[in-house]
Amino acid sequence: MAAFSSACAPLLALTLLAAVAGARAPAPPAAPAPPAAPAPPAPHPTAALTPAAPALPAALLAPGGGGAARVWALGDSRAEGRGLGASARWPELARAALRGRPALLLHLGDWVRDGRDGGEWARALGALPPGLPVLATRGNHDRGPWWGRLGLDGLAAGAAPPRGAPAPLRAARAGAALVYLLDAEGDEGAARAAVAAHAAWRAARPRPAPFILLATHRPLWSRGPHGDDERGWGAWLAPALVALGVDLLLAGHDHDYERMAPAAGGAVAVVSGGAGTWTAPLPGLSRRPSRPDRPASVVFSGRPHTLSLEITPATLRLRAWATPREGARELLDELELRAR
């Protein structure tokens, strides 16, 4: 299956905004014609995305294969108020990131404030440059019919998702990395079964890529306002990171940047929810009990930011970039991982 492409996002944005504006205007004396349904964007042919349980297709199983790739990653780019869609800082952050010429965008969830509002989606997607492939994991604010209609679940745009919800576990290639996308907003039983089935299938097979990433919306470990393991999935998710050989665990949800020391099994957890209007300035604000297996926090920042990932067959370099003003960026954090 192909991932969503932003190639049609500007046209979709204009179409949706016109439909929303028309819906709010007073009705004329004559009966108005029903508004035309917005045309869904076409899936991008180069960003392969597929349900990952239990088996991966041969195209994603090339041990040691895959070349270099530059990935732009971020989370929580939504506005705080309803009806606005993306944060006022979203276009600025996009322009700053795109100067690095990324091959794709990895979004960690919460594009909009209200996932049921087509106008919000129009504004959020309208800032994307044409032709940029998108991999996305659903945030709690993204829930609603537009996620599936826009093809953000990896299905052809407008197709009905399986069982009425996104696949719990999906996978895609980003150069020398295999990227898992775990839906944290669906049914826990379905997510747990999908991960267990895939881990069992993987157990007897070679490592499928030099680097393995898992992206989800809600963090397993966080000193931000939501705290550790908000949905209580950690009892099975933490061991799954080891079983799948995950090198980098990416999440959003908390509006800050945080990097943990490597957890048991070697996974480095990073929280990146700083692409929105407001961020959390201080750690330790959550009342949720900490997980006993939470790794030590290495870096915490409440500054707005995005991430860049430089992936080669030998190294994965993560950089967190603060964007204090238009046209400027400052390095917040840097990490280099070596291929296993």
What's the pLDDT at 322? Answer: 87
To the nearest 10 degrees (0 to 180), the angle between helices 188-203 and 234-243 is 20
pLDDT at 320: 95
pLDDT for the residue 61: 62
Instruction: Provide the pLDDT for residue 153.
Output: 73
Each domain of the chain, given as residue ranges in start order, spans 2-24+33-338
Per-residue pLDDT tens digits for 251-303: 999 989 999 999 988 999 999 998 876 676 667 677 778 888 999 999 999 88
Amino acid symbol at 320: A
CA distance 33 to 67: 52
Residues 6+ away with beta carbon under 8 Å from 52: 167, 169, 170, 171, 180, 194, 198
CA nearest to 220, candidates 266, 260, 265: 260
Residue 101, pLDDT above cutoff 70:
yes
Dihedral of alpha carbons 68, 175, 96, 322, sign? negative
- CATH 3.60.21.10 describes domain 2-24+33-338: yes
Cβ count near 242 (within 10 Å): 14
With b for 16 or more beta-carbon neighbours within 10 A and e for fewer, the 42-81 pattern comes to ebbeebbbbbbbeebeeebbeeeebeebbbbbbbbbbbee
Q: Is the pLDDT of residue 47 over 70?
A: no
Residue 58: predicted pLDDT? 65
* Cα distance between residue 59 and residue 156, in whole Å: 18
**Average pLDDT, integer, range 129-155:** 83
pLDDT in tens, 165-203: 678 998 988 999 999 999 999 999 999 999 999 999 999
pLDDT at 329: 79
Residue whose entry in the numeric block shows the structure tokens 């504006």: 21
Question: Looking at the predicted structure, is the pLDDT value of residue 33 above 60?
Answer: no
